[in-house]
Structure 1
Amino acid sequence: MPARTRTRPAPEAPAPPATTARVATGKKRRNTMWLFLLPALALYAFVVLVPSGRGALLAFTDWDGLSPDRAWVGLQNFTAILDDADARAAVGQTLLIAVAITIIQNGVGLLLALGVNTRIKSRNVLRVFLFAPAVMTPVVTGALWKNLLAPDGAVNWALDSTGLGGLKQDWLGDPNIALWSIVGVVVWQFAGYSMVIFLAGLQGIPQDVYEAAEVDGAGPWTRFRHVVFPLLAPATTINLMLSIIGGLKLFDQVWVMTGGGPGHSTDTLSTLIYKDAFQFGEFAYSIALAIVLTVFVAIISSGQYWLLRRQEESSR
């Protein structure tokens, strides 16, 4: 009977010393990175995540913000939002303000960026002048325009002085105009901020691209539509994200200028949250509204970012 032979697998070749060293170096760097990150992450969790989580649990109670007693009510506060006419109106007004600010602010910002990207001698002075409102605090901006838009304020006085007295309005007292007055103030303040981001994108476009399009016979509008605007996709993404998030969270200008009035015509989710918590003592209900606002911001901003990123990739 022939003897059996056992075939052993060939031993694996040892990894090259250089590869082993690179792997060890990579692991060491990752470990070092986590050593630096852990204190910051622990502080962030202690200051933000844990309080936010515990606060969110209060939305499922009937706590009034002062009493030590609280009872678990489940989803009662969230279902109450559906039956609250003021809350439904605030949701609609919040979305309207956010969309209006996003469209108008970025449209104006893009026009300003195109204007100051030319070779006019005063372009640097104009850039500073147009960006200046963005560095003002929203509270100061709101107080300033509250006085300017008063019935006897400078805006109506200027209209009257220039023979346009028929255009005088109660800008903050008319429910049909007050919300759009706030939108105009926010656009006035932050259009320069959008301008700077668009301007950075414009200055990042090589001059050769403009010259090649001009040689091909493309006019100004054709160059902008088919050359400039597609290359501004990253700047557009940033501006739209910042505008929509800022519009959804808008509070300061609204509170200072109208306090949500007249009536509830300019109430946003942020102002309604403040009123329910600190004026009406419905603290748990206000937290439920805050959670709804957070979900709105997360869903809308994530969806917008996904769409804009796809558009960026398709334009490359």
Structure 2
Amino acid sequence: MPWLYLLIPLAFLIVFTYVPLGNLLYYSVTSWDGLDPDKPFVGLANYVEIFTQPQLFEVFGVSLYYLAATVAQVFLALLFATLLSFNLRLRNLFKAILFFPNLINGVAIAFAFLFFFRPGGTLDITLQFLGLGGLSKQWLGDPAVVNWSLAGVQVWRYVGLGTILFIGAIQAIDSQIFEAAELDGANAWHRFRYIIVPGVRRITGLVAILSISASLSVFEIPWIMLGGANGTSTFVIQAYRTAFVDGKVGLASALAVVLLLIVVAIALIQRRLFKDEVDLV
């Protein structure tokens, strides 16, 4: 009976995950152009090309901006979750506000932030209202700040998801622990440092790996807002262009495999870093 219940989800998993993955691995060792019925086998030539042509791999430098934003994202999510897990007025409203961006389509977000960052747009008007007009820049035109701007969009979009996950973890901590700490004279910082942070350790690992995976596979926001121009091309955009503009599906598949291996490696490292006592038993 259990296998009968699992039959349909397993079928979907195999058809839509493992079969495409097998095809990806196969394409990555061919020089297929995406149209020709013949797929010439080239072995590891595509992988050699990736690591010997810097322009194919240097786009990972853009991911560093999103990785840096990931740190801010995890910190803000934990901060908001801590504030919203205790007696705070309108906390349910704030939860909804924080989580709402996670429900919006990426295309809509991209177009909204085009108006937000444009010269004389929402951000510049806000800075002028606050008397900080001198800080206005070409947010999407200056190569020095454009990737920071796009990374900020990523933080705004996903910080709510991390917040909700952290809230669940904090509320799972026995309330008697907080009461005992308060009786012992622990202040808010001590409760956060010695109770909340260790108590949400596993969720921190989950939020971190989700955020890092998202930062390495950024596509829609920089693609829709700038088309990957002005130094905003990510690894996924590079793979897309290689496949559908240059007609090198085999090479693009190898790029996708490299990205997959990097994400898996990060997940394994994260598992080692956040291994707790339960895992050690």
TM-score, length-scaled by structure 1 = 0.82
Counterpart in 2 of 1:34?
A: 3
2:259 corresponding residue in structure 1: 293
The counterpart of 2:155, out of the listed 187, 191, 197, is 187
- Contact persistence 1:59–1:77 (CA under 8 A): yes
Q: Aligned pairs, how many?
A: 281
Using the TM superposition, give the Cα deviation of residue 84 of structure 1 relative to its aligned residue in structure 2, in angstroms: 2.3
Provide the rounded CA distance (Å) in 1 between the counterparts of 2:8 and 2:153.
41
Contact 2:99 2:160 in 1 (8 A): yes
User: What's the secondary structure of 1:174's corresponding residue?
Assistant: coil
Task: Report the equivalent of 2:136.
Answer: 168
2:117–2:123 contact (8 Å) kept in structure 1: yes
Q: Distance in 1 between matches of 2:67 and 2:90?
A: 33
1:77 to 38, 46, 63: 46
Unaligned runs of 5+ in 2: none
Match of 1:148 in 2: 116
Flag the 1:42–1:312 CA change in 2: closer, same or farther, 3 A: closer
Counting aligned pairs with the same residue, the percent is 34
Shift of residue 304, structure 1, vs aligned partner: 0.6
Report the TM-score, using the length of structure 2 for normalisation. 0.91
Structure 1 gap ranges (5+): 1-31
**Are 1:254 and 2:227 matched, yes or no?**
no
User: Per chain length, whose mean CA-contact separation is higher, i.e. which structure has more relative contact order (CA < 8 Å, sep 6+)?
Assistant: 2
2: distance between equivalents of 1:225 and 1:306?
Answer: 22
1:53 aligns with 2:22: yes
Structure 1 stretches of 4+ moved >6 Å = none
1:1-316 to structure 2, matched below 5 A, reads 32-94=1-63, 96-262=64-230, 265-310=231-276
Query: Residue 71 and residue 235 in structure 1: after superposition, are their counterparts in 2 closer, same or farther (change >3 A)?
Result: closer
Distance 1:229 1:178, change over 3 A: same
Bigger Rg, structure 1 or 2: 1
In 2 relative to 1, CA 107–311 (structure 1 residues): closer, same or farther, beyond 3 Å? farther
Whether the aligned pair in 1 keeps the contact of 2:73 and 2:159 (CA below 8 Å) is: yes
Q: In 2 relative to 1, CA 39–219 (structure 1 residues): closer, same or farther, beyond 3 Å?
A: closer
Q: 1:35 to 1:177 in 2, by over 3 A?
A: same
RMSD: 2.1
Structure 1 CA distance, aligned partners of 2:185 and 2:48? 61
1:286 is paired with a residue of what secondary structure? helix
